[in-house]
């Protein structure tokens, strides 16, 4: 995926369709470790692909687990059966707390009983994340643990002598008020040594984040381990416990990620068309599923079953909410943004933990919500959001925090906010929507790499709100290259309209239809079955299911295209197809009549030219590089003749739109041309100037 310094979201006014959620991070890494500890092979379906799961997979492999990913993306893990296969390893665990804590516990127990030496380290930030509570719980059992850096922090070395025994007859005590991950780590490690007698874990202090312990207990049960607990303070792993692979296991979609789409449905799924969310359902084992109750309290209509949810707007505006959010700390951020669309102030309390997450989320949320026009007050453990009276186009900082980016994207539904109560009633007067600029949008990769693609797949905007930049110009002016570079820089869709005419010419040839038979060619154009590759397949094209990426670029195809493009009925047939490309978040449209005929209201039109000498030289280079002999003088004469014909022709003549900006790129590099057009575009944007944005590396934004 290309890197984007920013992504502009147009004002959105609808949401419908289906979103498939990526797997839950918490479940993914627990399942991987459990599969690695038990005997036999476990097929893990819908595993989250992210940095944190990648380090866990690498660690399992280093420990001797066999891993195989099949064609359907299912990861097959063959576990150790509780027996170390290697007795020495150095494991690098990045910044994955969900790998460090449970692996430390499991390897401490295995090394102590079977002998071995394991070093666990991570990125510098990982070495600032405390692990003392876990070390303090494990040492009294007889586990050998050396802290290789600061006491109480990774890196750690875990060691023991073969045949060593652990003191597990006494209750094992662990603090529960700093992180529930330490208890989770013990719950997953100690079944390895609960053969002869019960193992009891006692929580010292109040246990925070109980929902995450519920996930752990639930998954342990799937792997054959029953744990009894008394009031979340005393946990008993029964004698004779033994890990058993469930054979296959599905990783639920991430319930925190679901919150953004539940919110989008509550705000924008109207007219009886629900927004469907697949991968997580009302039966979810994740605590954040209780976000559904909060969303309902604000007015969302939510239905659901196993593995799916359907959400629609219930009441509008949303009902303001006052809620203690201790039970849903991550998803509660989404409620703060829903507060923008409420009928009064929304007050969320019990969120002190926000202050110590990826960033100080209370401060960050307050600052960014104020930018769109909300009134926000905050305290040590609460935030209160009063909806904007006047929405503003805002440049949103994301603080290298995936949830800030995903949450604030929901501010772009402001086209639905309606007029403020102060200006005459929300439902009566629609306000023009305001675009929202998200800085460093790729920070969503931590849990939801394709978040924006998923959002754009279900979000709608009225066409006037979806920006279009048109790039017209003569043959060989470099339109295609410029347009593709602009689309990549902005994260927009790209319409290569010439490809539509080329494809029409090709099917006419395939079907033996004369390129001059206007009615027949127009019928083919109207039924064009053309697919452009996305993501990893970008740049490739299929026509009637057959790949035509190369055929489309052939000179002969260009000649056919030039003939069929002169037929008015063909142009008409392709018109609607081209309009349909105007989709969220924006479109760069390349072709000679994009600014004049197809998108006459485009907010920026570029007419690209270059001297015939330059264009002839470029075309010459292109042909020679393909091994096609060519002569510059002939090419130039050809181009000049074609220009003259194109200007004169009655159908779609080549001419700049009156409001087009001319860009003569004869002496410009591609980068210069792109920078020039982006500069023009920036001048038309309502955002505050951010001179350093383009140069800022992703993640470098600061509060």
Tokens matching residue 674: 């792109």
Cα–Cα distance for residue pair 68/327, rounded to 1 Å: 37
**Sequence-separated contacts (24+) of 229-235 with Cβ below 8 Å:** 232/203, 232/207, 233/202, 233/203, 233/207, 234/171, 234/200, 234/201, 234/202, 234/203, 235/183, 235/187, 235/200, 235/201, 235/202, 235/203
Least separation in angstroms between residue 498's CB and ligand DC is 2
Least separation in angstroms between residue 479's CB and ligand DC is 7
Q: How many CA atoms lie within 13 A of 598 on its CB side?
A: 31
Cα–Cα distance for residue pair 616/389, rounded to 1 Å: 57
Answer yes or no: 401 catalytic.
no
Query: What are the φ and ψ backbone dihedral angles of 237, each rounded to 5 degrees?
Result: -95, 115
Cα–Cα distance for residue pair 42/22, rounded to 1 Å: 19
- How many other CB atoms are there within 10 angstroms of residue 628's CB atom? 10
Looking at the Cβ atoms of 74 and 652, the one nearer to ligand DC is: 652
Catalytic residue among 8, 330, 496, 590: 330
DSSP structure class, residue 595: I
Residue nearest to ligand DC (CB): 498
Looking at the Cβ atoms of 52 and 472, the one nearer to ligand DC is: 472
Least separation in angstroms between residue 29's CB and ligand DC is 48
Looking at the Cβ atoms of 387 and 498, the one nearer to ligand DC is: 498
Q: Which residues bind ligand DC (CB under 6 A)?
A: 497-498, 501-502, 558, 561-562, 565, 591-594, 652
Least separation in angstroms between residue 658's CB and ligand DC is 18
Cα 537–chain centre separation = 18
Looking at the Cβ atoms of 288 and 593, the one nearer to ligand DC is: 593
Looking at the Cβ atoms of 459 and 561, the one nearer to ligand DC is: 561
Least separation in angstroms between residue 562's CB and ligand DC is 3
Cα–Cα distance for residue pair 605/681, rounded to 1 Å: 10
Looking at the Cβ atoms of 323 and 507, the one nearer to ligand DC is: 507
Looking at the Cβ atoms of 76 and 575, the one nearer to ligand DC is: 575
DSSP structure class, residue 71: T
* Residue with the two structure tokens 């920078």: 675
Cα–Cα distance for residue pair 492/486, rounded to 1 Å: 8
Least separation in angstroms between residue 592's CB and ligand DC is 5
Least separation in angstroms between residue 472's CB and ligand DC is 8
**Residue 384 near residue 342 (C-beta atoms within 8 A):** no
Using DSSP bridges, classify how beta strands 275-278 and 308-313 pair: parallel, antiparallel or unpaired.
Answer: antiparallel
What residues act catalytically? 330
């Amino acid at each position: 995926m290309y890197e984007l310094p920013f992504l502009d979201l147009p004002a959105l006014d609808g949401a419908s369709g289906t979103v498939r959620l990526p797997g839950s991070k918490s479940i993914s890494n627990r399942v991987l470790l459990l599969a690695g500890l038990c005997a036999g092979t476990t097929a893990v379906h819908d595993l989250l692909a992210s940095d944190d799961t990648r380090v866990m997979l690498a660690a399992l492999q280093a420990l001797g687990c066999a891993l195989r990913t099949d064609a359907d993306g299912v990861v097959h893990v063959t576990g150790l059966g509780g027996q170390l296969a290697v007795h020495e390893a150095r494991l690098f665990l990045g910044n994955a707390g969900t790998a460090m804590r449970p692996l430390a516990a499991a390897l401490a127990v295995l090394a102590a009983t079977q002998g071995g030496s394991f070093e666990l380290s991570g990125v510098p930030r990982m070495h600032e994340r405390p692990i003392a509570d876990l070390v303090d719980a494990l040492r009294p059992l007889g586990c050998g643990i050396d802290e290789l850096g600061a006491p109480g922090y990774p890196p750690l070395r875990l060691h023991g002598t073969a045949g060593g025994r652990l003191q597990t007859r006494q209750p094992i005590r662990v603090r529960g008020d700093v992180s529930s991950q330490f208890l989770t780590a013990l719950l997953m490690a100690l079944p390895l040594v609960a053969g002869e007698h019960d193992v009891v874990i006692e929580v010292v202090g109040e246990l925070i984040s109980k929902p995450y312990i519920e996930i752990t207990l639930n998954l342990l049960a799937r792997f054959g381990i029953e744990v009894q607990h008394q009031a979340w303070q005393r946990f008993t792993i029964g004698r004779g416990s033994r890990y058993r692979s469930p054979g296959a296991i599905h990783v639920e979609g991430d319930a925190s990620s679901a919150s953004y789409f539940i919110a989008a449905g509550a705000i924008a799924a109207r007219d009886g068309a629900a927004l469907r969310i697949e991968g997580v359902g009302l039966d979810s084992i994740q605590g954040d599923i209780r976000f559904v109750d909060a969303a309902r309290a604000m007015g969302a209509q939510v239905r659901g079953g196993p593995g799916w949810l359907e959400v629609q707007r219930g009441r509008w505006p949303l009902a303001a909410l006052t809620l203690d959010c201790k039970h849903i700390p991550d998803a509660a951020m989404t409620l703060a943004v829903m507060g923008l669309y409420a009928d009064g102030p929304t007050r969320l309390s019990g969120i002190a933990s926000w202050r110590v997450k990826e960033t100080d989320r209370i401060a960050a949320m307050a600052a960014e919500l104020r930018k769109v026009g909300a009134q926000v007050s905050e305290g040590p453990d609460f935030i209160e959001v009063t909806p904007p009276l006047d929405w503003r186009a805002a440049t949103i900082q994301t603080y290298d925090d995936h949830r800030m980016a995903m949450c604030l994207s929901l501010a772009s539904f402001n086209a639905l906010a309606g007029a403020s109560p102060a200006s005459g009633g929300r439902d009566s007067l629609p306000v023009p929507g305001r675009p929202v600029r998200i800085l460093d949008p790729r920070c969503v990769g931590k849990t939801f790499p394709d978040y924006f693609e998923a959002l754009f797949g279900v979000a709608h905007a009225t066409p006037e709100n979806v920006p279009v930049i048109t790039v017209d110009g003569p043959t060989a002016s470099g339109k295609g290259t410029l347009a593709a570079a602009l689309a990549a820089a902005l994260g927009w869709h790209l319409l290569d309209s010439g490809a539509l005419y080329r494809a029409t010419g090709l099917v006419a040839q395939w079907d033996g239809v004369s390129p001059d038979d206007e009615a027949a060619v127009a019928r083919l154009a109207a039924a064009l079955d053309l697919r452009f590759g996305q993501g990893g397949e970008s740049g490739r094209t299929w026509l009637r299911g057959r790949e035509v990426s190369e055929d489309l670029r052939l000179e002969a195809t260009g000649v056919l295209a030039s003939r069929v493009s002169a037929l008015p009925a063909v142009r008409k047939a392709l018109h609607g197809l081209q309009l349909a490309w105007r989709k969220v978040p924006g479109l760069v449209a390349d072709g000679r009549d994009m600014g004049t005929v197809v998108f006459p209201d485009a907010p920026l039109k570029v007419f690209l030219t270059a001297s015939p000498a330059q264009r002839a030289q470029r075309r010459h280079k292109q042909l020679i590089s393909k091994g096609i002999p060519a002569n510059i003088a002939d090419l130039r004469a050809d181009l000049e003749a074609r220009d003259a014909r194109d200007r004169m022709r009655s159908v779609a003549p080549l001419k700049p739109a009156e409001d087009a900006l001319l860009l003569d790129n004869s002496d410009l590099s591609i980068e210069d041309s792109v920078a020039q057009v982006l500069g023009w575009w920036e001048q038309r944007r309502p955002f505050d100037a951010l001179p350093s944005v383009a140069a800022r590396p992703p993640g470098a934004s600061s509060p």
